[in-house]
Copies of this chain bind each other. A is one copy, B any other.
Amino acid sequence: MQSRIVTLTTDFGLRDPYVAEVKAVIARISPRTRVIDITHEVEKFNIRMGAFILAEAAPFFPRGTVHLAVVDPGVGGQRKPIAVQTTKGVFVGPDNGVLMNAARSQKIQAVHEIANPRFTLAPISKTFQGRDIFAPVAAHLAKKTASIRELGPKVVHPLNLSFAKVNKRGNRFRGEVLYVDGFGNVVTSISREDLSQNGQGATAKLKTASGIYNLTFREAYSDVPDGEPVALIGSHGYVELAINQGNAAKNLNLKTGEKVNMEFCPSSSTLSGNPS
């Protein structure tokens, strides 16, 4: 029988031996477990960024996948190590919010503290619990030699991160930048669902701290000429600001966390460019 997949989301980077040590511990406990990297390039200590990336990627993995996420500035301190069981999989990491965006988008069944020394390495370092606590627990959960209940006591109120709510008034939306990807595409908190309830248009007026921009609203980056800005529904269901073959974040001067105001303007001529 094949073991379940373990995914890794960390801020460890790829130069140091840390990711390999996590994989080595998993391989020792569960030789058949397949490990898939989500990313190790989360900005150091940026829990929200880790939470966002994990929440984007997790839905595409097979049922039963164990997601290990370690962006853990409080390692060795008061925050608890936890595991979260959902209807679709398990999430393992610190109780600092990094797991919860992804877990909440599935149905959470139980949250347990990791306290049982049977499933962790000894001694546990206070500086590298990704290796000493989370890796062995993920391996045992993937191999099914541990159940989530055996790990430790229930956690009643795991820490949740709050992301900015979207403010809607007719065709006007006030949200924030959730993420800027490596292409410079700007992912906003305004979702496909927000738009469908409030109508939308073929063009959008974008107001940011740095200026006002008029954008065409289309489906593909290449629906506008090279170098032109475009708004579209990105591959994860959020309104995305992009520049065809260019870098929108740089050109529109936008960073994660910044406020964006968008006003969608209907236009009869180019409605076929709208998402459907």
Contact B220 A21 (CB under 8 A): no
Contact flag A220-B75 (CB < 8 Å), given A5-B27, A182-B12:
yes
A window 125-151: CB within 8 A of B: 125-128, 131-132
Q: Which residues of B contact A28 (CB under 8 A)?
A: 60-62
Does A76 lie at the interface of the complex (its beta carbon under 8 Å from any beta carbon of B)? yes
Q: How does the 8 Å CB contact mask read for A52-71 relative to B, with 1 for contact and 0 for none? A: 01101100111000000000
Contact B39 A14 (CB under 8 A): yes
Contact A127 B240 (CB under 8 A): yes
Contact B17 A38 (CB under 8 A): yes
Q: How far apart sit A228 and B86, CA to CA, in the bound complex (Å)?
A: 38
What's the least CB distance linking A69 to chain B, in Å? Answer: 12
Does A257 lie at the interface of the complex (its beta carbon under 8 Å from any beta carbon of B)? no
Nearest-neighbor residue (CB-CB) of A125 within chain B: B235
Contact B31 A62 (CB under 8 A): yes
Q: A39: which of B16, B54, B62 is its contact (CB, 8 Å)?
A: B16
Q: How far apart sit A125 and B128, CA to CA, in the bound complex (Å)?
A: 39
Does A91 lie at the interface of the complex (its beta carbon under 8 Å from any beta carbon of B)? no
Does A24 lie at the interface of the complex (its beta carbon under 8 Å from any beta carbon of B)? yes
Contact flag A21-B76 (CB < 8 Å), given A14-B40, A31-B2:
no
A interface, over-half SS: loop
Q: Which residues of B contact A244 (CB under 8 A)?
A: 73
A window 1-36: CB within 8 A of B: 2, 5, 7, 12-21, 23-25, 27-28, 31-32, 34, 36
Contact A24 B127 (CB under 8 A): no
Contact B61 A24 (CB under 8 A): yes
Contact B37 A20 (CB under 8 A): yes
Does A77 lie at the interface of the complex (its beta carbon under 8 Å from any beta carbon of B)? yes
Does A116 lie at the interface of the complex (its beta carbon under 8 Å from any beta carbon of B)? no
Does A74 lie at the interface of the complex (its beta carbon under 8 Å from any beta carbon of B)? yes
Contact A16 B181 (CB under 8 A): yes
Q: How far apart sit A181 and B44, CA to CA, in the bound complex (Å)?
A: 12
Q: How far apart sit A41 and B241, CA to CA, in the bound complex (Å)?
A: 23
Contact B222 A20 (CB under 8 A): no
Q: A20: which of B36, B62, B132 is its contact (CB, 8 Å)?
A: B36
A-B contact pairs, 23 of them (CB 8 A): A2-B32, A5-B27, A7-B20, A12-B182, A14-B41, A15-B182, A16-B39, A17-B39, A17-B53, A17-B54, A19-B37, A20-B37, A20-B38, A21-B56, A27-B62, A28-B60, A60-B131, A75-B220, A75-B222, A76-B220, A76-B221, A76-B222, A132-B235
List 4 extra interface pairs beyond A24-B60, A74-B222, A76-B223, CB under 8 A: A5-B27, A14-B37, A15-B39, A73-B244
